[in-house]
């Protein structure tokens, strides 16, 4: 890295981090500032946050409410019975995610948490996950971003939110005890058996989106086939969520649903029972295709929509040398010259844009880690920022598919996207009522990225609100 210190600081603060009101927080050793942050993500901040068992208790309560709604108690309507079971949880989780990102003094770790939460997407777009996504991020993602990829993969795959999101709770082996019992009952009653069959959703997405990558399923050198997907789905049968017993509100392995017998996947044989999944995920985590897939996604997120092949190669090598040790890969990324390209080339997603605005405009909240370094002077409730992000096209924790949100600029530059960003920036600036010196803030936050054109526009603004809006819409702020 031959860039001047101030240029390294702005790259560290905005490309690797989430934005800073002053580059002074980075100091003279930008790479050291980043590597010092490598570790488990900060604990989520906010009130009313639920762990996985408590979140599942809400799921069970809603199921009971739906039952009661069919015959509401005297004096209550069905709507009253159902109201409130998830709304408060979802609001608290959204506020916590934004509050933590706005306040953290370890923004590189928080960006990694957001990256992995998107990689292992669980979405509100599917009703079965409501009330569980915050717990998924807190219990499966945050503690595991700085361990082995294998540990992160196992924690995310077996979390109740993922099991419900990708329908594994309804997947039964064709030769399982459950199916045999259902067939026996059907034979006695003369009615068709009512039981779920094998569901391949989780198996397919783990292979295609979480480990080997979609490209590994195509072409003459394909790493996996449809037969592998089916075998993996059989391995996953039995991994369900306990909702019937309040003492067992967690993921569990139910042998009655499991497909018995040895399974063959990617040419390897795996045993019956719960240990089969651990062994499959171990082998997937160490597969060369997984190493390249993860390396490519990290390089795309931090460096360029089409990352340099040399960088992807070095990250892949770091992953394979370390058996998927994520801190080793992160350190290789930080010391890679491609990551320190002096130009801000990555377009911020709506969530990244709003979070960086919250940090730079100092919306962290009084008494936060941010306040200790000058952040937290603006009294703004970040809960409302979730609606802002949704209006910009990215509803928090509600990706449209298991693939998560795109990391390419072309997907965030629709016909009205720029107009929506301008509209949001203007409304936010108006709320501040000229309480911020945008000219000074631009210089302190963007440093050498601040162009003369942007500086001049801010200086010539009609008032303070317009100056803030111009800062937020500046190309060097919209990108990282």
DSSP string, 237-306: TTEEE--SSGGG-SEEE-GGGSPPS-EEETTEEE-SSTHHHHHHHHHHHT-HHHHHHHHHHHHHHHT-SS
Confidence (pTM): 0.93
DSSP string, 185-246: HHHHHTSPP-------HHHHHIIIIISS-GGGGSSTT-S--HHHHHHHHHHHTTEEE--SSG
Residue spans of alpha helices (H) in 71-210: 78-82, 87-103, 107-119, 133-136, 149-157, 160-165, 177-189, 201-205
**Residue 78: its pLDDT value, please?**
63
Lowest mean pLDDT among 31-35, 56-60, 150-154, 471-475: 56-60
**% the chain with pLDDT above 90:** 75
Q: Nearest 5°: CA angle at 37, between 31 and 38? A: 95
Compute the distance between CA of residue 5 and CA of residue 344 in angstroms, rounded to an integer.
Answer: 16
CA-based R_g, the chain, Å: 24
**Phi-psi domain of 71 (left: phi exceeds 0; alpha: psi -120 through 50; beta: other):** beta
The label of the residue with tokens 């039995």 reads 238
Residues 424-430: what's their mean pLDDT? 95
Digit-coded pLDDT (tens) for 12-49: 999 999 999 999 999 999 999 999 999 999 999 988 89
Residues 323-332: what's their mean pLDDT? 99
User: How would residue 479 be classed by pLDDT, with cut points 50, 70 and 90?
Assistant: very high
The C-alpha torsion from 178 through 180 and 182 to 186, rounded to 10°, is: 180
**Residue 364: its pLDDT value, please?**
65
């Amino acid at each position: 890295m031959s860039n001047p210190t101030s240029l390294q600081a702005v790259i560290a603060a905005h490309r690797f981090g989430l934005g800073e009101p002053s580059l002074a927080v980075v100091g003279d050793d930008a790479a050291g500032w980043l590597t010092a942050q490598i570790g488990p993500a900060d604990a989520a901040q906010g009130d009313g946050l639920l762990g996985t068992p408590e979140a599942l208790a809400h799921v069970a309560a809603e199921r009971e409410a739906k039952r009661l709604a069919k015959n509401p108690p005297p004096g209550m309507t069905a709507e009253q019975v159902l109201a409130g079971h998830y709304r408060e949880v979802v609001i608290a989780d959204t506020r916590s995610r934004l509050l933590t990102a706005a306040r953290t003094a370890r923004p590189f770790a928080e960006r990694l948490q957001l990256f992995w939460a998107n990689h292992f997407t669980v979405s509100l777009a599917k009703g079965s996950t409501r009330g569980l996504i915050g717990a998924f991020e807190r219990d499966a993602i945050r503690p595991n971003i700085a361990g082995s990829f294998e540990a992160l993969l196992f924690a995310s795959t077996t979390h109740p939110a993922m099991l419900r999101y990708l329908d594994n709770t309804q997947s039964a082996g064709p030769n399982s005890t459950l199916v045999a019992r259902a067939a026996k009952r059907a034979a006695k009653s003369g009615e068709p058996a009512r039981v779920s069959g094998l569901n391949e959703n989780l198996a397919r997405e783990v292979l295609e989106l979480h480990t080997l990558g979609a490209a590994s399923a195509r072409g003459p050198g394909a790493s996996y086939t449809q037969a592998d997907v089916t075998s993996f789905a059989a391995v996953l049968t039995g991994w369900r969520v306990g909702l019937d017993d309040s003492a067992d509100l967690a993921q569990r392995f139910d042998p009655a649903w499991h497909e018995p017998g040895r399974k063959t996947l990617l040419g390897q044989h795996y045993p019956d029972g719960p240990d089969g999944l651990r062994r499959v995920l171990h082998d997937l985590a160490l597969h060369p295709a997984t190493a390249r897939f993860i390396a490519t996604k990290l390089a795309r997120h931090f460096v360029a929509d089409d990352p340099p092949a040399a960088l992807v190669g070095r990250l892949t090598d770091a992953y394979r040398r370390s058996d998927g040790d994520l801190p080793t890969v992160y350190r290789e990324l930080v010391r890679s010259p491609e990551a320190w390209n002096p130009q801000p080339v990555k377009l911020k997603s709506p969530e990244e844009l709003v979070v960086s605005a919250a940090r730079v405009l100092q919306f962290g909240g009084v008494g936060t880690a941010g306040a200790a370094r000058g952040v937290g002077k603006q009294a703004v409730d970040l809960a409302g920022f979730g609606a802002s992000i949704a209006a910009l096209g990215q509803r928090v924790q509600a990706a449209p598919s298991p693939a998560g949100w795109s990391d390419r600029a072309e997907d965030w530059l629709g016909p009205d996207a720029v107009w929506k960003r301008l509209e949001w920036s203007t409304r936010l600036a108006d709320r501040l009522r000229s309480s911020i010196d945008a000219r000074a803030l631009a210089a302190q936050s963007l440093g050498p990225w601040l162009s003369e054109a942007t500086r001049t526009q801010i200086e010539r603004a009609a008032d303070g609100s317009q100056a803030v809006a111009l800062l937020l819409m500046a190309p060097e702020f919209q990108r990282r």
